[in-house]
Structure 1
Amino acid sequence: MAIMGGLKTADTLAARGISVNSSCALCHSHAETVSHLFFECDFSFSILSNLMKNLGFLLLRPNILQIFEYIEDTKHRDKNFYFLIICCAVYHIWRERNERKFGENSVYSTSLAQKIKSAVLSKIQKWKKGGDLIDML
């Protein structure tokens, strides 16, 4: 849904004529768009940088499609691992955004990154060679 523009971010809702607060719930500094929310926002970028230390391309702050293309084009043998990290990060960042907009709780980026790492570790432990990937987180 993040790739296809199906998430109900402030810019999407405004395009439908629905008036909402347009500022990013994570940083409160920029307008909320899918691209900003997951990759341009300092909060989200700090999480992705924490999770994907081996991928130096993040210094360019790519959008979600550029990250997927980079992973697909790379000769790295652990593509599925990186796809899992990105998908898990998008899911948890979206949940954090919703919690901040509609709930009363919020967490620091380091805490959310740790939660994402735990979710990824839980998943890769079921993979054949998942134990080899644990050190990459």
Structure 2
Amino acid sequence: MTLKGGLKTADCLISRGISVSNTCALCHYYDENISHIFFECDYSFAIISTLMRNLGFLLLRPNILQLFEYIDETHSKDKDLYFLLVCSAVYHIWLERNDRKFGGKAISSTSLAIKIKIAVFSKIMKWKKGGTLIDLL
């Protein structure tokens, strides 16, 4: 849904005539849209940078498609792990956005990155060669 623009971000809701705050619930500074929430936002970029520190190319803020393309082209051996990390990050960042907007709860980017690593760790430990990927987390 993120890649297809199916998430109901503020810009999408406003374009449908629904009155909502257009400020990003994660950074409280920029307008909320899919592009901003995933990678342009300082909060989510801090999470992605922490999770993908082994990739070493995050000087610029890539969009999701650029990140998938980079992983596919340069990390063929470990790409399943990196794809899982990105997808898990997108999922958890969206949950955090909703918790902040609708639940009044918020956690730091560091805490969310740890939560994502734990979720990914538990998933890869079920993989046949998951034990060899732990060092990449």
Coarse TM-score class (shorter-chain normalised): over 0.9
The residue aligned with 1:6 is 6
Shift of 1:75: 4.3
The 2-side partners of 1:75 and 1:126 are apart by 21
Kindly report the root-mean-square deviation, in angstroms, between the aligned alpha carbons of the 2 structures. 0.9
Q: TM-score, with normalisation over the residues of structure 2?
A: 0.97
Aligned to 1:44: 44
Unaligned runs of at least 5 residues, structure 2: none
Deviations 1:81-122 (A, max 9, x none): 000000000000000000000002110111000000000000
Give identity over the alignment, percent: 68
In terms of mean alpha carbon deviation, does 68-77 or 122-131 score higher?
A: 68-77
Work out the CA distance in 1 between the residues paired with 2:88 and 2:109: 14
Report the 3-state secondary structure (helix = DSSP H, G, I; strand = E; otherwise coil) of the residue aligned with 1:59: coil
Report how far residue 72 of structure 1 moved: 1.6
Q: 1:71: Cα distance to partner?
A: 1.2
Structure 2: how far apart are the matches of 1:38 and 1:93?
Answer: 8
| 1:76, distance to aligned residue in structure 2 (A) | 3.4
Which residue of 2 is the match for residue 98 of structure 1?
Answer: 98
Instruction: Provide the C-alpha distance between the structure 2 equivalents of 1:76 and 1:48, rounded to a whole number of angstroms.
Output: 19
* 2:29 partner letter: S
Normalization by structure 1: what TM-score? 0.97
